[in-house]
Amino acid sequence: MTERSGIFAGDDPFQIAREWLAEAEASEINDPNAIALSTVNADGLPNARMVLLKEIEVDAFVFYTNYGSAKAQEVDATGKAAFVAHWKSLRRQLRVRGTVVREDGAQADAYYASRSLKSRLGAWASKQSEPLASRGALMAEVAKVTAKHGTAPTRPPFWGGYRILPVEIEFWADGAYRLHDRFRWSRATPSDAWKIIRLNP
């Protein structure tokens, strides 16, 4: 196994990722859990957008979205995604690539219930990624769903989570003279053992 120490030490990449995120939460001003999620459309054209990483599980990374959104449609079509988390204050980044499965059960219900009421109603109101006539039209839809669902809306059937099961995780830290430290954990499938190699900057 490649010799690693300091911030790269450990036998569990998910634990290392959790530790890095915890450090970021103490130093990043806004959204330390923001990730740039990449997908590919039917024409093979890449797409990227910022989303919030909501959980690092034992073997997966979880985010939530509207299943009608462009990102969700692209994930559902390919079953694959990638993301990068860049923590400027720590001068570190985390890159992940893997297969994706939906999380639309009790865990998604629990996360939805933990959101603010306005965010829960907003999930009902927004037809994410579809054309919108005006801000006023959106606010009118919010008022409409508020009247319908009240103060205890259930999770919309078109809204839930995705679990990224990585086949590749790369930890990167800034180095003097641009001689950065990079370690890539890779495996052929999510059930295989990890192989770790150090990469050139």
Q: Is 92 a residue of the active site?
A: no
Instruction: Using DSSP, state whether 108 is helix, strand or coil.
Output: helix
Angle at 65 between CA 63 and CA 122, to 5 degrees: 130
Region of 155 (left: φ > 0; alpha: ψ -120 to 50; beta: rest) is beta
Positive or negative torsion for Cα 117, 119, 121, 124: negative
Spatial separation of the C-alpha atoms in residues 112 and 138, rounded to whole Å: 20
Q: Which of 115, 178, 187, 198 is catalytic?
A: 178
Q: What angle do CA 200, 36, 193 make, to 5 degrees?
A: 55
Q: Which residues are catalytic?
A: 178
